[in-house]
Chains A and B, each alone.
Chain A
Amino acid sequence: METFVDIITRYRQAFLSGLRVTVELALIIWCSGVLFGSVIGIFAAKFKKAIGIPARMCSFVLSGIPVLAYLFWAHYPMQAILGTVINPFYTAAVVLSTINIFAVSDLIGSQLLDFPEQYNVAAKVCGLSARTTILKIQLPIILRQVIPALLPLQVIMLQSTLFASLISVEEIFRVAQRVNSVEYKPVHIYTALALLFLLVCLPVNGFAIWLRRRFTRNISET
């Protein structure tokens, strides 16, 4: 009896190619989200009216509408408007990165706004410089607060790359669909897909566990 391992082995080139596209897409989404999201989050906390409120509104709208809708809106009308063919990978990367950027900025911004003022006050009266206060006080405390929420968000973004298949990005889900149309063994094929996703998530989760151990600790006082 054929197992999902046999199917993976037989279509390994296709699966590897799809996996590569998924990982590339995820890396773009993660890096841009964490980098630009942090920057926007910091500015959103600093300039609440000018940046904070619009950023929060964007985050609300982006998280309230299914990813699929954005992908279709951004891909097909954009090609018609520009009169050119856009590689769907770029559309997916831009759309999913934008969603991640605003989700991360919302997270970082709210953590910055909720930062306990007493720790800044203590830093002031102890004569700490602004640089030391940021690097040694604010950043470590904020990291501890943000990491537990940030990592699951990035795993959700990884899973959202599945939607890219609907605008014809040749990522792993699309590969699985194609293989299924030939083999017609959905349980085997989607089990294989799940296994590959777990393989990608494994190092991510390992990194998350390491970060949690390294940075998070219950710091609440009783």
Chain B
Amino acid sequence: MLIGRGIRKCFNGREVLHGVDIEVSSGRISVLVGPSGSGKTTLVRALALLDCPTEGRVAFQGHDYSFPLRGRARIRPPWPELTVVFQQHFLWPHLTLRQNIELPLRERPASRHTVDDLIELFRMRDFVDRYPNAASIGERQRAALARAFALEPKCILLDEITSSLDVEQTGSVIRHLLALRQRGVGMLVVTHLLEFARRLLSRDEGDRIFFLDEGRIAAAAGVEFFDSPATERAREFLHSMDYWGASSICDTKHKGGYLP
């Protein structure tokens, strides 16, 4: 389980996160939504210990990290048991997509996944030997996801991973995320696509949705959040997102593509 408590993050004296509390339970999906600039990516980086919080506590799998660090203390973040997939993919440009997936596995011989399984799973056979700059954005995104899934993390933070995927690929990602949940992997999914969030979350599994607004968790709820948001601000946000989201879903319907 990944827990963040009282997470504050300041950049040049400007406070971006104001004491955020959040949990990502094992075998559950937590969705983080919020308007642009609300601090979603900053929170993901703080939870992943890539940019350590200015203040607060992050706990993961028995490890406890308290901030600010004392003196010259250094931490050993729990990567790749806790890993991140970024919106911008961050694939290594001098390696082919296959090599991007294979390289981290060289240091993890115990991984159950073979690269070929993942290539098959993400339907990457036709382009897996291309370099990132010769692949489409969607293909790069799939390679980034395959690289992270190959590591078999205990918890995975996914930052706007569907932003460059088409409906069919998004459906494939949803299926895989649900399969990972079955295996006990905890996930924090940052998205602005409410339909994507709705399809991921399950009432029965105890999944959670967090609404981040101006660096604060303005609402934390279960799936009922979509039907009865707790605050006026959340209602307003959902309304605006649903307006745009509804139109995009309508478009996909016309193309014969409800999310599979």
Q: Chain A interface (Cβ within 8 Å of chain B)?
A: 118-119, 121-129, 132, 136-137, 140-141, 144, 217-222
**Could you pull out 24 A-B pairs where Cβ atoms are within 8 angstroms?**
A118-B88, A119-B90, A119-B92, A119-B93, A123-B92, A124-B50, A125-B50, A125-B80, A125-B148, A126-B80, A126-B83, A126-B151, A127-B81, A127-B83, A127-B108, A127-B151, A129-B107, A132-B103, A132-B107, A136-B103, A137-B92, A144-B94, A218-B133, A219-B94
Closest-CB distance, A52 to chain B (whole angstroms): 21
Contacts of B103 in A (CB 8 A): 126, 128, 132, 136
Closest-CB distance, B57 to chain A (whole angstroms): 20
Contacts of A141 in B (CB 8 A): 92-94
Contact A140:B104 (CB < 8 A) given known A124-B50, A124-B79: no
Contact A125:B83 (CB < 8 A) given known A141-B93, A219-B94: yes
Selected from A125, A220, A222, the residue in CB contact (under 8 A) with B48 is: A125
Contacts of A128 in B (CB 8 A): 103-104, 107
Within 77-115 of B, Cβ neighbours of A (below 8 Å) are at 77, 79-84, 86, 88, 90-94, 103-104, 106-108
Interface size classification for chain B: 20 to 34
Contacts of B106 in A (CB 8 A): 132
Interchain CA distance A144-B90 in the complex, whole Å: 18
Does A124 contact B77, Cβ atoms closer than 8 Å? yes
Contacts of B80 in A (CB 8 A): 125-127
Does B94 contact A125, Cβ atoms closer than 8 Å? no
Interchain CA distance A220-B93 in the complex, whole Å: 7
Interchain CA distance A127-B154 in the complex, whole Å: 13
Interchain CA distance A128-B3 in the complex, whole Å: 24
Does A219 contact B79, Cβ atoms closer than 8 Å? no
